[in-house]
Structure 1
Amino acid sequence: MASEEKPLVVVTCTAPVNIAVIKYWGKRDEDLVLPINSSLSVTLHQDQLKTTTTAAISKDFTEDRIWLNGREEDVGQPRLQACLRESEWDPAGDVCDTGPSPSFPSAPSSVCRVRVHRGCCWLRRPPGEGAACEHGRGRGRGRGGGRDLPSPRRASAGEAGGRGRLSAVPLPPPDSRRVRCQEQVGATCPVAVSPPPSVRRLARKRRSTGDEDPPPLSLSYKVHVASVNNFPTAAGLASSAAGYACLAYALARVYGVDSDLSEVARRGSGSACRSLYGGFVEWQMGERADGKDSVARQVAPESHWPALRVLILVVSAERKLMGSTAGMQTSVETSPLLRFRAEAVVPGRMVEMTHCVRERDFQGFGRLTMKDSNQFHATCLDTFPPISYLSDISRRIIRLVHCFNAHHGQTKVAYTFDAGPNAVVFTLDDTVPEFVAAVRHCFPPESNGDKFLKGLPVRPASLSDELRAALDVDPTPGGVKYIIATQVGPGPQTLDDPHAHLLGPDGLPKPAA
């Protein structure tokens, strides 16, 4: 290697799993990954659950490549390109806003949009809506149906602060989606063209400002990425959140970017922006049509609540039948309960949950966590066709938690389920031994008794006769495969040890140990 040119730069990072206690489900914009409601999560410690990602750039690489859990993936996947792309750009410019959507009046961005690319307007609308905006002066002609669009009203400079405001016009039939713009992008077009961010674009922007040192290598160099999870993937344990947060963070380190990465990680996987921070994290839904204010912010650091513990009851490590992306899109289209939840329930719950976290009020925190999990899964059942992520074992765990709390006369443990059957149970450190014993009683390990409990050590405890009677469940051997005991943890980390790199000096994955 020519050391003077540093032909290979390698960075390895880790990122955590986060578990939402106020759930995110449903997007108001599929392309920009903007949620219909805010959400709040707990970041889990990376000593137990994490994604590790190595990113390497070199002048010798001929193409971008990525390996996930030892298997090479198509780097052209849109979600990967949202983090990677630099010069390639599909029609995804800034948008103009015709007002609130009838489907989600409180979500300004779920409106019909104009996307500007190379002199063309791309009209899009949510299903069933009959209005769109058209930004060009004069009349446009639909490419598919060949129908004229009425000219929009151009607001005065005084109204729009010097730029023509865009007014709503009727949308032609669905086959007339592409409309030729009579103005040229970059000339007098009233809609600013601003491509969505990626790490490479942020790096180029940083370099062009000249405010800081340039990135370590040319942005034209290709990147190789290898990433592994130390927990089941696609089983409802937020693997995509940790994965895309780690990808964005590793790429930022290798390209020398220190900007906020919420928008980049979010476009890979919505909840990934919450994994960019430790402790307790809010993902603000935002109001802007371009999504610039839909970002993650830390509510409290990982050191805030040292007594809080997290138990993950792994029911199944199998890939779920209905992925989160497809599931939430169907819910947005068909569930009235989801709309009610987003507009009438979640805003108040965000305030209440933030208060419970800051006051370390486990009673309030636990009850609200369970209620929100239940309502999330109710919206899944309200979806048509209905979606069911919970299994019979999941429902038995729910019953176990309520029986355990009823026996103690207070909320000692609290469950939540993401889009999968595995339970995440929150409790305080002094309750962990007794509850783990209760899980062992209700779900006796079949053959892995010595490996049933992983993660943080838990001292043995016995159940009282009164508690055994109160649990009132028939034991289900093997129902819970194993338990991961963990706690609240920090955000992404950079590993300094070269032996931690997943890629070798040739930029290819190291052989499995």
Structure 2
Amino acid sequence: MGGESEKWVLMVTARTPTNIAVIKYWGKRDETLILPINDSISVTLDPNHLCTTTTVSVSPSFDHDRMWLNGKEISLQGGRFQSCLREIRARAQDVEDEKKGIRIKKEDWQKLHLHIASYNNFPTAAGLASSAAGLACLVFSLAKLMNLKEDNSQLSAIARQGSGSACRSLYGGFVKWIMGKEDNGSDSIAVQLADEKHWDELIIIIAVVSARQKETSSTSGMRDTVETSALIQHRAKEVVPKRVVQMENAIQNRDFPSFARLACTDSNQFHAVCLDTYPPIFYMNDTSHRIISCVEKWNRAEGTPQVAYTFDAGPNAVMIARNRKTAALLLQRLLYNFPPQSDTDLDRYVIGDKSILEYAGIKDMKDVEALVPPPEIKDNLSTEKSKGDVSYFICTRPGGGPVVLSDETQALLDPLTGLPK
């Protein structure tokens, strides 16, 4: 190891998107290696709106591994962090930074300690796949720091051991996590089905129903389902394999009606399996159910799906509209049914891609108050408006995969001390 009086700090900062599964992963065949009982397919969301930023640093002056998440120090003792760190250190290569006069031999990585800082620009543990983006970003940034030769698909097998769905965040666009057959998990990896430009007219609107942490974590919920649900085996063996093939075709052909039907039915079946667990798991709430009803009424009235919905292990609704025009109509319907509290700033109630609001002709709260009931609601008196049931909406679209941020001002750690800025 070279460098002036061993005072140097070497850093890498990366940004990784979150993803939403349209064919769900639920249930493991191996708890330790996080090997799933079925394939899954996801859409990567635009990292400008939903992402994790992580800075990783190494220095001979660090005396133990440390990590900060959203500004708070957290323990790295968990088995999942440890398996990711172990796997990456085992693959580390020589690193040379001529500018700083630093040389690290691959065997030195076992002795050097790391500082890691991570920041999510969306609620953590609220069912928006924060752990997926977080662990994918950790693996991706460490792989860059330690000069790993593995490609993103091979890195996905490491990220998977931190959080199952993290493996899908190593690619943009549409991604398939292959369950694999090997006991050691070597073939349980993520592959890209199509990049984000393939179907770029899709618009995604997320209703953040509750930014609170969920009652049942995905890990324990999944374990209980596999142990107690009679439906889960039927789902994994009979239903999902067919759906995966159909979903791949729908994505390849940009066939929105098929895509929407598959996404909605798979989401509904995932939550049915949660209800079939003993004791039952309720991830959705009344607001979630009202959003489904709102989308289903509209889709039925049009005779062909306009919008797909999907819910992960939480109450938040992820709605995928076929194009901007449909997304604008969807946003009008959502704001009509779930208006913000009167004192809410519209700018904070609809975040992300603001152009959808403009396209919907909504500039301020007066425009929200003037919205008329959608045509599929025949009896206006029967629809109660629910102020305050949705915390906020995020407008986004399919996005690209992880990237290294070369602008040092975006780093979360101080380049001199390796401590949070």
Of 295, 317, 337, the match for 2:231? 337
1:53-452 aligned within 5 A: 53-85=54-86, 198-203=87-92, 218-219=108-109, 220-259=111-150, 260-427=154-321, 428-446=323-341, 447-450=343-346, 451-452=348-349
Using the alignment, how far apart are the partners of 1:436 and 1:217 within structure 2?
55
Q: CA deviation at 1:221?
A: 1.1
SS in 2 for 1:469: coil
Larger Rg: 1
- For structure 2, the residue ranges without an aligned partner over 5 or more in a row are 96-102, 362-370
String of CA shifts for 1:236-276, please: whole Å, max 9, x gaps. Answer: 00000000000000111111113120121000000100000
2:15–2:403 CA contact under 8 A, matched in 1: yes
Q: CA deviation at 1:464?
A: 6.5
1:33 partnered with 2:25: no
Higher mean C-alpha deviation, range 70-79 or range 320-329 = 70-79
1:50–1:229 CA contact under 8 A, matched in 2: yes
1:217–1:255 CA contact under 8 A, matched in 2: no
Counterpart of 1:345, as a letter, is V
Of 403, 415, 420, the match for 1:493? 403
* Partner residue in 1 for 2:366: none
2:7–2:60 CA contact under 8 A, matched in 1: no
Of 344, 352, 360, the match for 1:455? 352
Counterpart of 1:31, as a letter, is T
2:336–2:373 CA contact under 8 A, matched in 1: no
String of CA shifts for 1:423-456, please: whole Å, max 9, x gaps. Answer: 0000122201111010011111113241221111
Using the alignment, how far apart are the partners of 1:415 and 1:309 within structure 2?
12
Counterpart of 2:208, as a letter, is V
Using the alignment, how far apart are the partners of 1:217 and 1:494 within structure 2?
24
Higher mean C-alpha deviation, range 281-290 or range 255-264 = 255-264
Using the alignment, how far apart are the partners of 2:310 and 2:383 within structure 1?
20
Q: CA deviation at 1:460?
A: 2.6
Using the alignment, how far apart are the partners of 2:106 and 2:404 within structure 1?
16
1:434–1:463 CA contact under 8 A, matched in 2: no
Higher mean C-alpha deviation, range 433-442 or range 457-466 = 457-466
Counterpart of 1:24, as a letter, is Y
Of 466, 471, 480, the match for 2:375? 466
* Partner residue in 2 for 1:509: 420
Task: Decide whether aligned partners of structure 1 residues 465 and 223 sit closer, same or farther in structure 2, where only a CA change above 3 A counts.
Answer: closer
Q: CA deviation at 1:9?
A: 0.7
String of CA shifts for 1:286-344, please: whole Å, max 9, x gaps. Answer: 00111100000000011100101111101000000100000000001011101100000
SS in 2 for 1:218: helix
Using the alignment, how far apart are the partners of 2:9 and 2:235 within structure 1?
49
SS in 2 for 1:318: coil
Higher mean C-alpha deviation, range 447-456 or range 342-351 = 447-456
1:405–1:412 CA contact under 8 A, matched in 2: yes
Q: CA deviation at 1:463?
A: 4.8
Deviation above 2 Å: which 4+ runs of structure 1?
1-7, 213-218, 460-473
String of CA shifts for 1:203-225, please: whole Å, max 9, x gaps. Answer: 16x89xxxxx9768930211000
- For structure 1, the residue ranges without an aligned partner over 5 or more in a row are 86-197, 208-212
* Partner residue in 2 for 1:484: 394
1:10–1:54 CA contact under 8 A, matched in 2: yes
Using the alignment, how far apart are the partners of 1:316 and 1:247 within structure 2?
26
Counterpart of 1:388, as a letter, is F
Task: Decide whether aligned partners of structure 1 residues 348 and 72 sit closer, same or farther in structure 2, where only a CA change above 3 A counts.
Answer: same
Q: CA deviation at 1:478?
A: 1.4
Using the alignment, how far apart are the partners of 1:217 and 1:463 within structure 2?
67
* TM-score, with length taken from structure 2: 0.90
Using the alignment, how far apart are the partners of 2:214 and 2:64 within structure 1?
32
Using the alignment, how far apart are the partners of 1:408 and 1:319 within structure 2?
36
1:407–1:470 CA contact under 8 A, matched in 2: no
SS in 1 for 2:161: helix
- Between Structure 1 and Structure 2, the one with more helix by share is 2
* TM-score, with length taken from structure 1: 0.74
Q: CA deviation at 1:4?
A: 8.9
1:405–1:411 CA contact under 8 A, matched in 2: yes
Identity of aligned residues (%): 48
Using the alignment, how far apart are the partners of 1:479 and 1:8 within structure 2?
47
Using the alignment, how far apart are the partners of 1:215 and 1:393 within structure 2?
55
Using the alignment, how far apart are the partners of 2:344 and 2:325 within structure 1?
25
Using the alignment, how far apart are the partners of 2:127 and 2:159 within structure 1?
19
Using the alignment, how far apart are the partners of 1:325 and 1:215 within structure 2?
37
Using the alignment, how far apart are the partners of 1:448 and 1:51 within structure 2?
27
Using the alignment, how far apart are the partners of 1:300 and 1:370 within structure 2?
21
Using the alignment, how far apart are the partners of 1:441 and 1:286 within structure 2?
45
Higher mean C-alpha deviation, range 428-437 or range 241-250 = 428-437
String of CA shifts for 1:103-158, please: whole Å, max 9, x gaps. Answer: xxxxxxxxxxxxxxxxxxxxxxxxxxxxxxxxxxxxxxxxxxxxxxxxxxxxxxxx
2:92–2:106 CA contact under 8 A, matched in 1: no
Q: CA deviation at 1:5?
A: 6.5
Counterpart of 1:501, as a letter, is A
* Partner residue in 2 for 1:8: 9
